[in-house]
Amino acid sequence: MSEVRFVQVSKEFEDNNKGKFMAVKNADFTIRDKEFMVFVGPSGCGKTTSLRMIAGLERQTSGDIYIGDRIVNKAHPKDRDIAMVFQDYALYPHMTIRENMSFGLKNLKRPKSEIDEKVTEAARILSLETLLDRKPRELSGGQRQRVAVGRAIVRNPKVFLFDEPLSNLDAKLRVQMRIELSELHKRLGATIVYVTHDQVEAMTLGTRIVVMNQGEIQQIDTPEELYKNPKNMFVAGFIGSPPMNFVKGRLEGNTIQTAEHVFFVPEHMLSTYKAYQGKEVTLGIRPEDILNLEQLTVQPAHNIIEPVIKVVEHLGSEFLVYFSIGEETIVAKFNADYPVKAFTKQQLYVNMDKMTLFDPETQFRIS
């Protein structure tokens, strides 16, 4: 069993500038056997600290960490049966690729034949056979990244840890490596813990995702659930590209009244929001749920707005359109077949069937 479990784990750092601060607060979760778990969040949210605590490179201030059935609170990194791929790859610059990959096994005093066999096999999986006698500086970024993965594979650990491994690669290579990592996970059937600040990486790779902010876990769920049913405004705003739009308003009867518009709430949703009648709410709308009226075959009766378009960003197959509702800047994602011009008025339909309502005070989703 290669399960990783955090039980009420906290980590406090002491910094000369900031003083004492909690990098991770009461983290409590289980990473299941063979799961690809992605930690995502903005810089300083505690995701890398969590990963380093699993690795044993940081010691938690309180709480217990389990790898398999064993508590590893005080275990040295080498005794945790983990392998890690670092953000800067951390390849030993003076060693050849072969030496880099076999260093761990040599330290374990494994027989040479076994080391050779494992290095050759890992090199074959990662297409590194021809590079084994080169030094890291002779390799491209993508190749170095593969070597770092190879060094992890040869050890055949219980858990693989990845610390933002694609952040130093260019966009094209990142997409390619993402696919390779996904295939590798299926092939190895290993438990992988992966840290990234890139929500696209998180959504495409993760079996489940841990969204963190300011040391606290916001939500742990599948990519689909995170997107469809975010627990709070942070998750809703972080997952999805571009992020969800938020508009302040008041729930009055079957409408949400904002500074400029009145939006009609679908009948079947009203019972859910009963407790918020007459109160302030925050309306959450995904960019793809705002539609160009021209592309609709049936003319809707309500929820049509006519803002002045401020900016149009062309992305090829689609484009992003920016406009304002009150003080909020709103972004909508349109199909490229229906072009829109900047500085013109445009009739748009807000699909309220897909809306999400949040409590503006607690920032939690109203459900």
Partner 1 sequence: MIESSQSSGIKTKRFTWENTKQFFRDYGWCYAFILIPLILFVLFTVYPLVMAFIYSFQRYSVLGSEWIGLDNYKSLMNSSVFWTAMKNTLIYTAATVPVNILITLFLALMIFPLNNKSQTFFKAAFYLPGVTSGITMSLIWLWIFDPTGAGLLNAIFNLFGLDSVMWLANPDTALFSLILMTYLGAHGAGILLYLAAMGGIPKSLYEAADIDHAGWWSKLKNITWPLLKPTTLYLLVMGIISSFQVFEQAYVMTMGGPNLATTTIAYLIYDHAFQSFDFGLAAAESFVLGFIIIVISVIQFKFMSTDIEY
Indicate which single residue of 22, 90, 304, 340 sits in contact with partner 1 (rule: CB under 8 A).
Answer: 90
Could you say which residues in the range 211-270 bind partner 1, by CB under 8 A? none
Q: Compute the least distance from the CB of residue 112 to partner 1, in Å.
A: 16
Angle, alpha carbons 179-180-184 (nearest 5°): 120
Determine, following the binding rule CB under 8 A, whether residue 55 of this chain makes contact with partner 1. Answer: yes
- Stretch of 42-50, 79-87, 331-339, 354-362 contacting partner 1, by CB under 8 A: 79-87
Nearer to partner 1, 40 or 82 (CB): 82
Q: Compute the least distance from the CB of residue 330 to partner 1, in Å.
A: 42
Nearer to partner 1, 136 or 215 (CB): 136
Could you say which residues in the range 130-189 bind partner 1, by CB under 8 A? 136-137, 151, 155
Indicate which single residue of 86, 264, 319, 322 sits in contact with partner 1 (rule: CB under 8 A).
Answer: 86
Indicate which single residue of 78, 124, 302, 314 sits in contact with partner 1 (rule: CB under 8 A).
Answer: 78
Determine, following the binding rule CB under 8 A, whether residue 104 of this chain makes contact with partner 1. Answer: yes
Indicate which single residue of 28, 64, 88, 121 sits in contact with partner 1 (rule: CB under 8 A).
Answer: 88
Using CB under 8 A, list all residues that contact partner 1: 55-57, 76-78, 82-84, 86-88, 90, 92-95, 103-104, 107-108, 136-137, 151, 155
